[in-house]
C-alpha cells in the first residue's frame, strides 16, 4: 500500500536517525573504531528457502482486472458507473445514429434489485438508416476481436412491443462488420435473458459491440456481457496473460490488491460479499483509488479459482477497517472481524457450512 503507511515509515526512520545521532554524540563513541563481523556460510548452517518464497502481487491499478487479466470485453456492462441513482453514468457507451433518431437514458427499472439501473433506449426514426440506430460499447481500449474466434454474448432486454435487435461486432468506425446476430424480443414487457454466440469473420483489435434496431419503439437493456469463449480453463481469465503469469512460476497469488482493498474512503473499498454469486446480481463499486467503476465480475471467488488453476497459494487481502481517509473506531470493529472470518469460511469451509455452501453453489464444492 502506498501513501500514509510509507510516509509514516519515513518519518519513523528520520526520528530514529536523529535520535541515534544525539545518543552517539552524548556517549562520545569513537567513529574510527574497528569492528569485525564473522560470517559462517558453511552448508551445515544453511537454511532452506521456502518454496512459497516467490509469488505475485495482483494490483487493480489501471484496469489490471476487468480490461486486463479478466476477459470481459464490455466496460460498464450494467450502465451503473454513476452508482444506483439516476441519471447514472453510461460511459463509455455511446449512440449509433444522432439525437433525432435515438434517445437513451437510465432509469431504475432493472430486474436486479442490487443493481437497479437499466438503460432505456428509444428508437425515434420511422425510416431508420440501413444499419439501424442504437448504442455501442468500445470496451476498455477497443475490443480485440480475432478472426474465427467465438464470443459469448449475454444481455437482459425488455420491450413492451415485439421488436428486432441486431447485435454486432464492428470496427471502431462501424464500417467493418465482424459478426452479427439478430434477436427478436417478444413484446410482453418482461425482462428476458438473451444468450448468443458470435463468431468473428475478421480481426480488428479496436472493435466495438453494437446493439441496434430499425424499428421505432422503446427497449430496456441491462447487464450486457461479451466474453471470449476461450478463456483459461473456462474460468474467464485471458489465456495469453495467464500463461505469462505461469511462466513466473508463482507459488502464491496475492489479491485483490492493496489500495483497491483499502479504498480512499471505506464506503468505496472492495467488499467480498458483494463480489460473489451470479455476476448479473453483483452491485459493482466505484474504486476511488484508481477512479473508475468496476462491476466486480472478477470477484473474490474468481481470484480463488485463478490461484487454484495456476497452482499458487491464495493470499487474500482483506480490509481491517481502515481506508486512506477514514477508519472505524476499534470499539466497532466486530463486523469487520466477522466479515473476515466469513470470507475464510467461504474459501475453506465445508460445503455444508453457511459460506462454504455459497461457494459450492457457485460450482466449487
Ligand X SMILES: *[C@@H]1O[C@H](CO)[C@@H](O)[C@H](O)[C@H]1NC(C)=O
Query: Interface with ligand X by CB under 6 A: which residues?
Result: 30, 32-33, 171-173, 175-176, 203-204, 206, 350-352
The DSSP line for 108-148 is S--S-TTS--EEEEEE--SS--TT-EEEEE-TTTSEEE-TT
Using CA atoms, how far residue 138 sits from 36, 207, 210, 296, in Å, is 65, 7, 9, 19
Measured from the CB of residue 93, what is the shortest distance to ligand X in angstroms? 19
Question: CB-wise, 40 or 173, nearer to ligand X?
Answer: 173
Q: Residue 61 or residue 360: which is nearer to ligand X going by CB?
A: 360
Cβ proximity to ligand X, 207 vs 319, nearer residue? 207
Q: How far is the CB of 35 from ligand X (least distance, A)?
A: 11
Helical segments of the chain, H only: 4-27, 239-247, 259-262, 300-309, 334-348, 354-361
162 vs 218: CA distance, rounded Å: 10
CB of 133 to ligand X, least distance (A): 19
Compute the distance between CA of residue 348 and CA of residue 185 in angstroms, rounded to an integer. 43
Q: Are 86 and 106 in contact (CB under 8 A)?
A: yes
**Euclidean distance between CA atoms 351 and 243, whole angstroms:** 31
User: Closest CB to ligand X among 36 and 352?
Assistant: 352
CB of 358 to ligand X, least distance (A): 15
**To the nearest whole angstrom, how small is the minimum distance from the Cβ of residue 311 to ligand X?**
24
Closest to ligand X by CB, 206 or 320:
206
Residue in 298, 304, 302 with CA at minimum distance from that of residue 316: 304
Contact yes or no for 85/101 (Cβ under 8 A): no
> Nearest 5°: phi and psi at 117?
-75, 135
CB of 151 to ligand X, least distance (A): 17
Shortest reach from residue 197's CB to ligand X, in Å: 22
- Min CB(63)–ligand X separation in Å: 21
Report how far residue 297's alpha carbon sits from residue 227's, in angstroms, rounded to the nearest whole number. 11
47 contacts: CB under 8 Å, gap ≥ 6: none
Least distance to ligand X from the beta carbon of 137, Å? 16
Least CB distance to ligand X at residue 77 (A): 23
179 by DSSP, 3-state: which?
strand
Q: How far is CA 232 from CA 70, 101, 138, 150, 240, in A?
A: 10, 41, 23, 14, 8
Residue 275: which of 251, 294, 257, 293 has the closest Cα? 294
CA distance 270 to 257: 9
CA distances (Å), origin 148, targets 152, 199, 201, 204: 13, 6, 6, 12
Using CB positions, name the residue nearest to ligand X: 171
- Whether the CB-CB separation of 277 and 79 falls below 8 Å is answered with no
Amino acid at each position: 500500500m502506498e501513501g500514509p503507511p510509507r510516509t509514516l515509515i519515513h518519518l519513523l526512520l528520520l526520528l530514529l536517525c536523529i535520535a541515534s545521532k544525539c545518543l552517539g554524540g552524548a556517549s562520545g563513541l569513537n567513529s574510527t573504531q574497528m569492528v569485525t563481523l564473522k560470517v559462517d556460510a558453511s552448508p551445515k548452517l544453511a537454511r532452506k528457502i521456502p518454496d512459497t518464497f516467490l509469488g505475485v502481487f495482483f494490483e487493480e491499478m489501471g484496469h489490471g482486472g476487468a480490461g486486463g487479466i479478466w476477459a470481459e470485453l464490455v466496460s460498464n456492462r450494467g450502465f451503473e458507473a454513476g452508482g444506483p441513482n439516476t441519471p447514472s453514468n453510461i460511459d463509455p457507451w455511446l449512440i449509433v445514429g444522432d439525437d433525432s433518431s435515438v434517445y437513451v437514458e437510465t432509469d431504475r427499472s432493472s430486474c436486479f434489485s442490487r443493481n437497479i439501473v437499466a438503460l432505456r433506449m428509444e428508437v425515434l426514426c420511422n425510416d431508420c438508416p440501413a444499419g439501424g440506430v442504437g448504442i455501442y460499447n468500445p470496451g476498455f481500449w477497443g475490443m480485440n476481436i480475432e478472426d474465427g474466434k467465438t464470443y459469448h454474448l449475454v444481455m437482459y432486454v425488455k420491450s413492451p412491443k415485439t421488436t428486432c435487435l441486431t447485435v454486432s461486432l464492428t470496427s471502431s468506425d462501424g464500417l467493418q462488420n465482424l459478426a452479427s446476430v439478430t434477436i427478436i424480443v417478444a413484446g410482453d414487457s418482461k425482462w428476458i435473458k438473451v444468450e448468443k454466440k458470435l463468431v468473428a469473420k475478421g480481426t480488428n483489435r479496436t472493435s466495438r459491440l453494437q446493439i441496434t434496431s430499425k424499428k421505432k419503439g422503446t427497449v430496456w437493456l441491462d447487464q450486457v456481457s461479451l466474453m471470449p469463449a476461450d478463456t483459461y480453463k473456462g474460468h474467464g481469465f485471458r489465456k495469453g496473460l495467464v500463461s505469462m503469469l505461469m511462466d513466473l512460476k508463482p507459488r502464491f497469488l496475492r489479491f485483490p490488491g492493496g489500495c483497491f482493498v483499502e479504498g480512499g474512503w471505506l464506503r468505496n473499498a472492495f467488499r467480498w460479499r458483494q463480489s460473489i454469486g451470479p455476476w448479473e446480481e453483483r452491485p459493482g463499486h466505484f474504486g476511488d483509488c484508481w477512479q473508475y467503476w468496476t462491476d466486480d465480475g472478477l470477484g473474490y471467488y474468481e481470484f480463488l479459482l485463478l490461484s487454484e488453476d495456476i497452482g499458487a497459494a491464495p493470499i487474500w487481502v482483506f480490509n481491517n477497517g481502515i481506508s486512506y481517509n477514514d477508519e472505524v473506531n476499534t470499539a466497532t470493529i466486530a463486523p469487520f472481524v466477522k466479515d473476515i472470518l466469513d470470507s475464510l469460511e467461504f474459501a475453506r469451509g465445508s460445503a455444508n457450512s453457511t459460506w462454504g455452501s455459497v461457494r459450492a453453489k457457485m460450482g466449487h464444492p
